[in-house]
Amino acid sequence: MGEITLTQQRNTNKNMVQQFQIKIPAWPVEQMTGYKPITTFWQDFSIADRFGINGIKSTFIRAFREWKSNYKYLTELSMVLNHKIGYFYDHEKPMDARCNRIAALYSELWEQVNDYAYDNLEGDELQYYYRITD
């Protein structure tokens, strides 16, 4: 899987420039399924991963609160959370307690989104959700 590198510079209080990079694994969902992403959820959660459980929870709360009423965004949020579960349970990576906790959190969050979709989407919106996430 490829990756994206974000580079940011900021001035410190001593007028020195500090630079840091975050490498974000690419989300190959379009190659895998033909679905073209419409949000930055994958990138957002990939950045949050670097900040651990609290970063992921905070990103989820913000994304879910702001976008749960948009069925297409809700669908993509569900897809990202589901793929993050697999990413952290990937058998090629050495499993450690941190990866297990993050995968379990993503699983919890995915269940919350999936339950919300089931309880709140109807008709064409619910059909879209199931068709895209299938």
Q: For 94-130, what is each residue's pLDDT tens digit?
A: 668 888 899 999 999 999 999 999 999 999 999 999 9
Give domain status of residue 21, yes or no.
no
The total domain count for the chain is 1
Within a domain: 3: no
Residue 1: the pLDDT is: 43
Asked whether residue 79 is assigned to any structural domain, the reply reads yes
The closest of 48, 54, 56 to 109, measured between CA atoms, is: 56
Place of tokens 């619910």: 126
- CA 98 to each of CA 3, 15, 52, 58, 119: distance values in angstroms, whole numbers, following the listed order: 21, 36, 8, 17, 32
On whether residue 98 sits in a domain, the answer given is yes
One-letter amino acid for residue 7 of the chain? T
Q: Does any domain span residue 1?
A: no
Domain-located, residue 126:
yes
Below-70 pLDDT ranges, the chain: 1-20, 91-95
- The phi and psi torsions of 37 (rounded to 5 degrees) equal -60, 145
- Rounded CA-CA distance 25/100 in Å is 18
What are the angstrom distances between the C-alpha of 26 and each of 31, 87, 130? Answer: 11, 11, 24
Report the pLDDT value the prediction gives residue 98, as an integer from 0 to 100.
85
| pTM higher than the cut 0.75 | yes
Q: Which domain holds residue 83?
A: 28-133
User: Is position 11 within any domain?
Assistant: no
Q: Is residue 49 part of a domain?
A: yes
